[in-house]
Amino acid sequence: MTRSTERLAFAVVDLGFGDAGKGLLVDYLVRDCQATTVVRFNGGAQAGHNVVTADGRHHTFSQFGAATFLPEVSTLLSRDVLVHPTALLAEARALEKHGVRDPLSRVRISEAARVITPFHQALNRIRECALGASRHGSCGVGVGETVDHSIRRPGDALLMGRLSDMPAARRKLSRIQDHALAEVQALGRLPLEDPALRAELGILRDPSTPDIWLEQLQPLLVKDVVVTEEIFLRSLRESGAIVLEGAQGVLLDEVHGFYPFNSWSDCTFRRAVSLLSDAGWAGTLRRLGVLRCLPIRHGPGPFPTETDSVSAAIREPHNRETRWQGPVRYGWFDAVLGRYALEALGGVDMLAITHLDALSRLEQWKLCDAYHLNGSNCLTRLAGLAGSLTPLLEKIEPIWSAESNPREPRVLERIEAALGVDVSIGSHGPCASDVFRLRGKALAGRWSAFMRSTGTPASHGRGAGDCSLR
């Protein structure tokens, strides 16, 4: 197979509520196309991208690029990423335990990236506690509070490039602390019997917190990790093949998600495109959308096809209920939401369907291709509807079709027909070696050829395979 000499960038975006397998696809693409750069272009430290290697190592990547197990791969955290410095240091220590040598030497962070402080995180968690049963399902990392604060008080926003000026950073931290305390007081009565809430209040009220936190950051600041925007863009411009790793999912997007159960993040391709344009990167960008054949949602919010009947088949060891997000929920494939996500993105160049191995553990697989609205109206698309979609999705009833004894080729054909997009990539396991590629429109024929082959059609070692994915 002849390798393409075309210079490529792949942007990976989740078309659902997150947890579709972006980490797996990033790791696979980097290996297959010999990319040496992974760019994080949205979101922040709330990302949780699981990667399992062939030798059994597992890590949930949060701020490091999901291909960091490969020794020659570097991570670029762009100006649009919310950086949690102490969490970044903790992740570096965890990676070192997995055998990754000096992880921080392979990270470059734009000086313009905003910083999540302990006060943003504490305020985030206290606000969620105050909401009680009406919680929004925050990850509890402080991303939303950091964005909101930087918009309302731009002069107080703490940027990565300013952390080295300790006196100035200390003054900004004190103002952020005062602001967060004022926000807490405005919440009124709090459930102080909650030990987690009391711990967060302690962080907000302790005058020594800024100095303690800044001291913890010293290992990060003494390394050449934070760079000017000019150097950052030059590094991007001079990179060969690039994989841009999105966070969260389109259905959690700050505009297209279902308020208030959405993220303070642009989860589309827009930030990735803008970044490449500003860097003057010359090559072809391919936009990859990722969906699970059986979706999940972590935390509260609309989930029209939710069901308990698939949880045993697709329950995952690396995605569990957390203190802040709440339970992991499971459902059947929702083509209406899939079409909505595709329209929000303006389409994709490639579509990946993951977690296909779960099908073998099911007696049937269901697809929702339309909703009943108010008991009669048939709704097949959400794009263009007026008003908030959140209350609407609470009123609809899915219209189902089912596949008995589901098999991958038939399921993929049904997904292609429902979404109007060819499936380019599939996966039936957690490792890069479990990813396979499909070409053209005759899916059944492609699948037969794949099953007759002695191995997967794409080699998953670095240096093998055709990275054009045509």
CA atoms within 13 A on the CB side of 169: 22
In whole angstroms, what is the distance from residue 17 CA to residue 298 CA?
Answer: 8
282: exposed, middle or buried (Cβ count in 10 Å: 0-12, 13-18, 19+): exposed
Is 19 a known active-site residue?
yes
Provide the pairing of β-strand 74-77 with 37-40.
parallel
Candidate list 19, 27, 253, 334, residue with the active-site label: 19
In whole angstroms, what is the distance from residue 164 CA to residue 154 CA?
Answer: 19
DSSP 172: H
In whole angstroms, what is the distance from residue 163 CA to residue 173 CA?
Answer: 10
In whole angstroms, what is the distance from residue 161 CA to residue 383 CA?
Answer: 40
Q: Are 243 and 37 in contact (CB under 8 A)?
A: yes
Is 49 a known active-site residue?
yes
CA dihedral over 261, 87, 154, 156, signed as positive or negative: positive
In whole angstroms, what is the distance from residue 184 CA to residue 296 CA?
Answer: 33
CA atoms within 13 A on the CB side of 1: 14
Q: Are 115 and 163 in contact (CB under 8 A)?
A: yes
Cα–Cα distance list, 328 to 272, 317, 356 (Å): 29, 11, 19
Q: Are 140 and 102 in contact (CB under 8 A)?
A: no
Q: Which amino acid is at 327?
A: P
Residue 78 region by backbone torsions, left for phi larger than 0, else alpha for psi between -120 and 50, else beta: beta
In whole angstroms, what is the distance from residue 310 CA to residue 295 CA?
Answer: 10
In whole angstroms, what is the distance from residue 202 CA to residue 307 CA?
Answer: 40
Q: Are 44 and 81 in contact (CB under 8 A)?
A: yes
3-state SS, residue 222? coil
Name beta bridge partners: 365.
403
Candidate list 14, 49, 256, 355, residue with the active-site label: 49
Please provide the DSSP assignment of 397-429 as one string: EEEEEEEES--HHHHHHHHHHHHT----EEESS
73: exposed, middle or buried (Cβ count in 10 Å: 0-12, 13-18, 19+): buried
Which residues participate in catalysis according to the annotation? Answer: 19, 49
